[in-house]
Amino acid sequence: MRTVRSNVRTALATLLAAVGVCCVALGPAAAARTDVPFKARLSGTAGFTSATSVEFHGTGQATHLGRLTNAGIAVLGPPTGGCPDGAPGIAAVHTDAFTAANGDELVIRMVNLACPTGPTSFHGTGRWTVIGGTGRFADATGAGSNEGNADFSTNTFELTLRGTLSRP
């Protein structure tokens, strides 16, 4: 009888050790990130805060955030090439925070080229990446493309982002 109990204990200990090893081995797989499509549309006000910076405030709608508000600032570089017909454009690095109705925040960085479409209007294109977040976006990553327009005679902007978000 003692041998049977000893064998059962040994088998049970071996089984528990194997389950523990499997849990440790599967941990990283279970924590794998899942990419989900992301799209946002925003509009609002845009205004120069200095000769080399523009502030943006608006509202919009985005997948995984729902209705949102945004606040951002673009730091403008010197005129550069790359626009249609050889017109000089303005390179900009733009940081923007999107805040969902519940207060969760997604922070992105955009690197853009703004090309003139009129005396005070621009069409910008670029790439965005997630650089931070809070709440359900605390560990989010993601990237994609962005496109928008700004008109400084009316101090308005519109912006569309497309890409993917990932969360563990």
pLDDT tens-place string over residues 110-150? 999 999 999 999 999 999 999 999 999 999 999 999 999 99
- What is the per-residue burial (b if ≥16 Cβ within 10 Å, else e) of 148-165? bbbebeeebbbbebebeb
Distance CA 39, CA 67 (A): 12
Distance CA 48, CA 6 (A): 79
Give the right CATH number for 34-167 from 2.40.128, 1.20.120, 2.40.350, 1.10.3210.
2.40.350
Contact 70, 58 (CB under 8 A): yes
Contact 38, 63 (CB under 8 A): yes
pTM of the model: 0.79
Chain-centroid distance, C-alpha 86: 31
23-68 pLDDT tens trace: 344 444 445 678 999 999 999 999 999 999 999 999 999 999 999 9
Residue 83 φ/ψ, nearest 5 degrees: -90, 160
